[in-house]
Amino acid sequence: MQSKPISFLSILLPLLALLHTGCTKEKALMYEDDPRVYFKKYNVAHDSVNYSFAVKDPAQLVDSVYLQLRIMGNARPYDREINIQLSDTSTARQGYHFVLGPQIMPAGQYETKIPVYLYRRAGLKDSTITADFIIGASKDFQPGYDDLPTVAVTNRLHYKISMDDRLVKPERWDGMLAPYFGAWSLVKLNFMIRATGRLDWTVLIYPNELSNLSQLSREAMSMYVAANGPLIDENGAVVEFP
């Protein structure tokens, strides 16, 4: 019967140990996966950007756009390498049509903007080329997450820059410009640029300024028609504003 007290102790001690665990402070659940990086994309940072030198000053031979990147995991107290690769689908040549800026996530940062320097080359006058970027693995980052299973599915591992040196239909035409300027045509856009002096029609323009641009275009058109007759676009249609 010498063993009975021992058996009670063997019950009591684990029980006390279990009760004691309730007094320990729970550690917060933290992300501890391997660091990753992805293209930051929202409505104002689209999947792709269409860049045209045609709306720039003729003397401007280089310009820049930015790739916005964001990391998963914690910031680190040192610079980390990002590996942005060019896809085989690209028609733009690195070092000729564009040059990527330093691919670094700065120390202590969760986000960064990497410049892409675009060069105005002769071939852009008659063709549109694309630089298709993909997030690759580096010694510091793995590729981040891809599509979000939401209404607005966004590919966060790819980013495309289209560039040319000829007027193309601004990507915001149908949604933003059409109510003020009507159907798009190349001749109409050229006329609007001359009438208003505004070169960049790809950015967000607020209604007050849109109204002004529309009024200036119409006023210029009334004077043009009075002096020259109707302006005909590349489709053979009379250029009109609704």
Partner 1 sequence: MKNIAIQCRLGVLLCLLTAVAGCYKDKGNYAYQVTNAVLVSDTLTRGIKAINKGDTLVLTPAVSQTMVSGDANLSYEWSFTTLNGGSTLRRILAHTKQLKAVMDSNFVLGFSYVLTYKVTDNNSGESVFLKYNISIGNKYSQGWMLLEDKGGTTDFSMILPDGEVVHDVYSTLNGVVLADKPVRMQISTFLVSDGVNEASRKLYLLMEHGGMEIDYTKMSRRYDYGGLFYTAPAVIQPTYTGFPSSATSMGSAINNGKLYINAAGPFPGIKKWGGALVSPENKLNYELAPFVISGPGINGNVYPVVVYDKVGKRFCGVSGTGASLDSFARGASTLFDMNHTGMDLIYMDNSPAGQANAFMKDATGQVQFCRFRMSYTAVDSVLTLMKQPVNDAAIAGMHTAASSLMSDHIFYGTGNKVYRYEPASNTTALQYSFPANEQVTIIKCPMPLADAPQVAVVTWDGTQSRLYLFYINAMGGIDSYSVVYGGFGKVADAEYKFRY
Interacting residue with partner 1 among 17, 151, 226, 227 (CB under 8 A): 226
- In 10 A of CB 205, how many CB atoms? 19
207 binds partner 1 (CB under 8 A): yes
Question: In angstroms, rounded to a whole number, what is the distance separating the alpha carbons of residues 2 and 4?
Answer: 6
Indicate the DSSP class of residue 175: I
9 binds partner 1 (CB under 8 A): yes
Interacting residue with partner 1 among 100, 171, 212, 231 (CB under 8 A): 212
Residue among 93, 188, 168 at smallest CA distance from 126: 168
169 binds partner 1 (CB under 8 A): no
Interacting residue with partner 1 among 16, 17, 28, 227 (CB under 8 A): 16
Question: In angstroms, rounded to a whole number, what is the distance separating the alpha carbons of residues 54 and 134?
Answer: 27
Name the residue nearer to partner 1 (CB basis): 102 or 242. 242
29 binds partner 1 (CB under 8 A): no
Least gap, CB of 14 to partner 1 (angstroms): 11
Least gap, CB of 152 to partner 1 (angstroms): 22
Q: Residue written as tokens 């990507």? A: 171
Contacts of 115 (CB under 8 A, 6+ apart): 64, 65, 66, 67, 100, 101
Least gap, CB of 239 to partner 1 (angstroms): 11
Q: Residue written as tokens 């323009």? A: 205
Size of interface with partner 1, in residues (CB under 8 A): 33
219 binds partner 1 (CB under 8 A): yes
Please, which residues bridge with residue 81 across strands? 104
Name the residue nearer to partner 1 (CB basis): 169 or 198. 198
Backbone dihedral angles phi then psi of residue 39, each to the nearest 5 degrees: -75, 130
Instruction: Return the exposure string of 135-147: e unless at least 16 CB atoms fall within 10 Å of the residue's CB, then b.
Output: bbebebbbbbeee
Judged by the rule CB under 8 A, the positions of this chain that interact with partner 1 are: 1-2, 4-5, 8-9, 11-12, 15-16, 19, 179-180, 206-216, 218-219, 221-222, 225-226, 240-242
